[in-house]
Amino acid sequence: MAIYDDILDQIGTAPAAGQLHENIWVELLRREEPALHNVRLGRGDGGIDGHVLLDPLTGDAEVFQAKFNAVLGDDQKEEIVNSFVSAHRNTFVCAKWTLLLPIELSAPELNWLTVDMREAAKRVAADDAMSVR
C-alpha cells in the first residue's frame, strides 16, 4: 500500500494516479519485453492496458491489466472480473492475463484471485451469453 500512497501523494487525484500507475507498469514491462504495446481506446481499454503478441499465426497474446486499488473489496473484484472477461472477448486469443496491483495480497485475496475469480468470470460470461440470445 505504500506505493499507492506515494503515488497519490505525488499526484493528488485517483484518476491521475491510476494513469501514472499504468504508465509505470508499461515502462517497467517494456524493459523486459520491448514488443509490449499499451492500449488506449476511446471507451475503456477492453480489459487490456498492455499486450504482447506471442504468436501471429495463432493470434495468441499476453495481456496485462493494471488496477490502481488500495483494497480488494467487492467493487474492485467485480471490476477485475469484468476486465478479465473483456480481455478474453477480443479477436485475438488471450493466452495469458496478468493483473498488476499496487498492493500485497492477503492469503484470502490470493485465493480469490487464483480460484474464485475464475468461477466469477465463468458466471459473468455465461450471463452475458444468455443476455445476447
pTM of the model: 0.79
| 116: its cell numbers | 474464485
Instruction: Give me the pLDDT at residue 68, please.
Output: 86
Residue 60 pairs in a beta bridge with 55, 93
Residues of the chain with pLDDT under 50: 1, 42
Instruction: Give me the pLDDT at residue 14, please.
Output: 64
Instruction: Give me the pLDDT at residue 24, please.
Output: 84
Contact 62, 99 (CB under 8 A): no
Non-local (6+) Cβ contacts of 81 within 8 A are 117, 120, 121, 124
Instruction: Give me the pLDDT at residue 20, please.
Output: 80
**Residue range 38-74, pLDDT digits in tens:** 776 545 666 788 889 899 899 899 999 988 888 899 9
Instruction: Give me the pLDDT at residue 42, please.
Output: 46
